[in-house]
Amino acid sequence: MTVKRGRRPPSTPSVECRRADGATIVASRKGRETPAPPSRGRRAPEHGLSAAANSVHIRSTRPLSIHRRSPMARRRSESGVTLVEFGLIAPVFVLMVMGLFVLGLVAVNQMQLNSAVRDGARAAAVCGGPSRNSQPVVPALPNGSACDSRYLISYLNSRLSAVPGGVATGVCVYVGSSDGSSQGTTCVATDTIDPNIFDKCNKGTVVEVDMTYPQQLYMPVVGNVFGDGGTTVRTLHARAQAVCEQ
């Protein structure tokens, strides 16, 4: 038996290319469609285009996107994200700035109170006790008033014009021995017999001046941290001492 070997049919030339969006195009001649190899895992949509002399077979390696976002839509989306982030950060930033401003105001007023009580204690020490009246030059307060503890409070209050609401709460003297060899442990602020506390300020004893100021904090957030009892007011205290000179 004779076996005739047949001639192999000529191979059909084909061209395969890949587009930028991931689709693979296989083109063949002689009007024959060349099937694209199946993809594993999922079935990709196939689109066929045929002509009289050419056949084009398109196989997409990923699903085609029907709705594609334009650059303008992407810019709008990014702008929306920026606005949301700004809305979250802006209140915190404003609170921090206002809190720093309030704390700076508290520090300035505290320094003014400290300066006022130092001047008051110095004036009280210069006035001294009853012996001042026997001096060739009778001492007086810096504003020209007589050496009296009640006038000293008025003088201190006039010094607080830059700190509205600040008041001198009192002047007291640590009464010790008449010669100043010992200092008392209690600061005497009132005397029904002699209202002028300076008369107890013998040479060597200590006179003390106290002042307070109700500082407004203006912000509940700051008041919860620094206020008196969680309120928006913080009471500032200032105290100074000096040794009576006569």
pLDDT digits (tens, 9 = 90+) for 74-101: 666 677 778 888 888 888 888 888 888 8
Q: What angle do CA 64, 68, 72 make, to 5 degrees?
A: 165
pTM of the model: 0.56
The predicted pLDDT at position 51 comes to 46
Q: What is the pLDDT of residue 53?
A: 45
Distance from C-alpha of 188 to C-alpha of 207, rounded to nearest angstrom: 9
Over the chain, what is the mean pLDDT? 71
CA distance readout (Å), 65 to 25, 37, 44, 46, 89: 17, 22, 12, 14, 37
C-beta of residue 207 within 8 angstroms of C-beta of residue 187: no
Q: How far apart are CA 151 and CA 157, in angstroms?
A: 10
For the cut 50, the answer to whether the pLDDT of residue 52 exceeds it is no
Which residues contact residue 15 at a Cβ distance below 8 angstroms, ignoring those fewer than 6 apart? 25, 26, 27, 28
pLDDT of residue 1 exceeding 60, the answer is no
Within 10 Å of residue 210's Cβ, how many Cβ atoms?
19
- For the ranges 70-74, 156-160, 205-209, the lowest mean pLDDT is seen at 70-74
So where are the chain's domains?
14-60, 83-243
pLDDT at 20 over 60: no
Q: How confident is the model at residue 203 (pLDDT cuts 50, 70, 90)?
A: confident
Angle between helices 149-158 and 71-127 (to 10 degrees): 150
Residue 157: predicted pLDDT: 79
Mean pLDDT, residues 184-196: 70
Average pLDDT over residues 22-36: 52
Residue 180 has pLDDT above 60, yes or no: no
